[in-house]
Structure 1
């Protein structure tokens, strides 16, 4: 029932950055001990479940992306519902293909609170079991831990197991705590909890407290208890997932409807037809049930995988050989895999469960190995890093997963942490603030201009001068009128994100300037608490004799490469220029390529390749492309 592969731990490249720091207080540690004793739950089980839910963070009583509160992630999703998923927002065409009419989709209403599944309403049940008021469970970490312990104890009773002091005897209760509705997901979640118990953890939380779980490598979970959970067996036929995750097949339709219209993806033969170069991380801005409903609608759009927040469950919708409509840029769509994570970008203190981070990292590692995709930020993109394909589309591009996605932790799980590869005076830096402590002001989470609650962030602000009072740098694509960028949570115009690398333009005291969108951009980078680390890499600059060069949002072939019957796609420079003397970090050298697939009948589909080559670069918050013939590349 439980594959041995599910017991394999994630790659762990280093101990937590906060390991070994003195505790500010042991209040939280004592709260776990008291709750475990009161409800007869082994302390290691309670601590490990909480770690997988929240990494022991409380988030100041604010709800998570699924409406989960506190260290035990007790859910009350009524407070976190959005009005529509993100593919329905704004002006972005998810296909991003100018050879056919723009694909815009209608809003989808959020479900009524009474229709939410039990896994999104665990706070209500915890209140009944513990006798604690819902407001206390939301705002008090100690009460929240008591509520979680009450849920675990109730699950143990309902499964007919005694309140044993042996952590291994709680496997079934842990699996039920996940809220999963299928056996594979529940057991994958439980296996992760027991992996945490075996390996131990120690971490400083967002409230500044050190919580420790000593390693218990000899624990033996009673995995046979999974048979008594009474859960369904997910449909796995057709899925392309690693054995270390729970994955089911929920297919997106490939159907023709209307006059020459069809949905909701394109057939292809990747990687034989085209290489896969990118994995794009999205959030759904919708609940799980709404997400699955939409991706099965032929008139909507599509992506390859959805990941559930509460337990990390994965549903695959589109075969990897085919092209999903998700990134808003056809060149990127044709060469990428899209991952939608259940979540809400602009929810106050938006955050994600450890369970979802872990299964997502396992999936990305599998995909990267399968397609040879490098594990770096120029290939593992957020939707907010995908460039607009043309000047007219830049303003409508989406901004998920946003500044609260923890890229540093994600890449630690991928086994590729962002560590220094060069000294403090290196010519290239990689953005790497300390997520929990780094809390820049954002606005617009609930109302335009209104400050968002303080929260850790992996993004740094970029100024025109080395001063917090200096204006933010401008983004000519987002604001053609020359207005300044803002602190808005969805404004990517002056933002550099964890893992992104830039060439250094200048240093002054605790400030570092980088080349960004054709200008010098400054961020605070004090030696005592650096927000970037030195690294090495390849950089490019306009070749000698060129005062500036155009920048593109897609790497399309030259006009002469298109055969008869395939309309020539314009190169269409973006509204930016790359001036002589500036340097930008290089990703890949790629051929000009265009996948022509505008019809349901695949017989006319063609991959057009040209002689013109391009370099992908980290140009601003988003990546971009420049012609290889117009630049000089060097190693620094």
Structure 2
């Protein structure tokens, strides 16, 4: 049975105003709103930003953790990740919009949330959202994408997709709670954003490809020029999309990159530097190592999900096998273990015992087995005629029933199995309207069926932000 997330109408309404749920008080005490919940309520109301969307953006950026005013790797501060670096100045913009001192915006959660809301509203104003449109979270997609200040549209879309996935799942942390709210966002110009490619040229099968800026790595010819005998584990100190964008940015005074970046929620992998080239990630070990970045912050264990561990372990095992690297802690090290390094990642919350058991035990990467098959989803008589892997997140399947002449599309997850998350499937006979099934599902999307006698079909699906759309094919 397919399980869907209950799509509630948003947050509890109090006197017509949406507010974040407060932390639950003990039975003998009076329930009062947590300070951060109050900050979001005030900021959302003042800037006329949908409250649950504002919370979702903050959660996607930082898990609502201000990190005591310490900056991210890309110079972002606070719960809302207000950025001050040579390319992006949202911290300074927030100071102008709110008249709050920069120091307060860096270290005070309430000021930071207020600043983030003001910047997001400014992005909405730039897109011409009027008062009526601002009440609909679906219409904020372009503003959310613009908030990312990403290096290109496809990375901005990746960022916005992550925010809307949080919105659909709901948030409950740091005294702030929002109900799950499934929204079909209006993509606008981002509907045609060029997707990151599942490039045949990637070194790891299933990895998505997004090239780092050429100033952030050195062209080389490894392992001919330099032997590769180390794998270095990093933590991004920032979000997945933000880190990808940062590695795309340059030239800058301190060039940095990594070969791979891995997402927390589902273990999706993006390769940014070919392994033959030297990414700038580990000082004197750049020549001899492959660097893997993991979305998150070293001081917050919630980022280090089992899906991330498994996906990373499968990647590490693959690299080790290809280069003959021993699968031990001498050759698979944290950034803090590189001689001369002044970094602390992956930090005390990284579970080396679990990780190395996945690397050496062969249990990484899958995140469990989906009990469903495309044939079971589509029904008796259907056979798979085509399929497309969606990175490590799942697979979209096209099936055909010769007895009935019907096509069927189903998308099966490989991650977050049994837990509702964003997944979709669609089928479009040439000359006919597209049929789709999308939402927060536990195991799969579909079946989507249609006849297409004498016609070609376009088909595809998504799991999270990993998507596939075929050309018109399988004609007749």
CA distance in 2, matches of 1:183, 1:243: 22
What is the aligned counterpart of 2:170 among 163, 185, 200?
200
Contact 2:75–2:83 (8 Å) recurs in 1: yes
1:212 corresponding residue in structure 2: 177
Write the distance in 2 (CA, Å) between the matches of 1:283 and 1:45. Answer: 24
**Structure 1: segments with no counterpart, 5+ residues:** 1-18, 78-115, 205-209, 256-262, 344-348, 387-395, 407-456, 459-497, 502-534, 539-585, 589-636
1:398 aligns to 2:353 (yes or no):
no
Q: 1:241 to 1:155 in 2, by over 3 A?
A: farther
Structure 2 residue aligned with 1:381: 333
Q: Cα offset for 1:46?
A: 0.3
Quick one: which of 96, 105, 128 aligns to 1:160? 128
Is contact 1:281–1:380 with CA below 8 Å preserved after alignment?
A: no
Structural mapping, 1:299-318, within 5 Å = 304-305=259-260, 316-318=272-274
Q: Residue by residue, what CA displacement relative to the aligned partner does 1:526-564 show, whole Å, maximum 9, x if unpaired?
A: xxxxxxxxx9x99xxxxxxxxxxxxxxxxxxxxxxxxxx
Within a 5 Å distance, the mapping from 1:28-67 to structure 2 comes to 28-67=36-75
Task: Give the alignment of 1:67-466 within 5 angstroms.
Answer: 67-77=75-85, 116-118=86-88, 121-163=89-131, 164-204=134-174, 210-216=175-181, 218-226=182-190, 238-239=201-202, 247-248=210-211, 250=213, 264-268=220-224, 278-281=231-234, 288=246, 293=251, 304-305=259-260, 316-319=272-275, 337-339=290-292, 364=312, 367-368=315-316, 371=319, 378=329, 381-385=333-337, 396-402=339-345, 405=346, 458=349
CA gap 1:307/1:264 in 2 versus in 1, 3 angstroms: farther
Aligned to 2:180, the other structure's residue is in SS state coil
Structure 2 unaligned regions, length at least 5: 1-22, 238-242, 362-476
Aligned to 1:196, the other structure's residue is in SS state helix
The TM-score with structure 2 as length reference comes to: 0.51
Cα distance 1:173–1:182, how it changes in 2: closer, same or farther (>3 A)? Answer: same
Aligned-residue offset at 1:382:
1.1
Counterpart CA distance in 2 for 1:28 and 1:253 is 37
Q: CA 1:46/1:380 → structure 2, altered by over 3 Å: closer, same or farther? A: farther
2:34 corresponds in structure 1 to: 26
CA contact (8 A) 1:200 1:215 kept: yes
Please, what TM-score do these two structures have when normalized by structure 1?
A: 0.39
Describe the SS at the equivalent of 1:339.
strand
Structure 2 CA distance, aligned partners of 1:398 and 1:132?
Answer: 36
Are the aligned partners of 2:139 and 2:186 in contact in 1 as well (CA < 8 Å)?
yes
Over alpha carbons, which structure has the higher Rg?
1
Whether the 8 Å contact between 1:136 and 1:143 is mirrored in structure 2 is yes
Counterpart contact for 2:213–2:251, Cα < 8 Å? no
- Deviations 1:565-591, CA, capped at 9 Å, x for gaps: xxxxxxxxxxxxxxxxxxxxx969xxx
State the SS of the aligned residue for 2:146: helix
Q: CA deviation at 1:281?
A: 2.4
The CA RMSD over aligned residues, in Å, is: 5.5
Counterparts of 1:155 and 1:383, CA distance in 2 = 37
Q: Is the 8 A contact 2:236 2:295 kept in 1?
A: yes
Residue by residue over 1:122-143, the C-alpha shift from the partner in whole angstroms, topping out at 9 and shown as x without a partner, is 1111122223332332232112
Match of 2:414 in 1: none
Rounded Cα–Cα distance in structure 2 between residues aligned with 1:355 and 1:242: 24
Partner of 2:142, secondary structure, is: helix
Q: Distance in 1 between matches of 2:123 and 2:303?
A: 19
- 2:274 is paired with a residue of what secondary structure? coil
Q: Say whether the 8 Å CA contact 1:306–1:342 is kept in structure 2.
A: yes
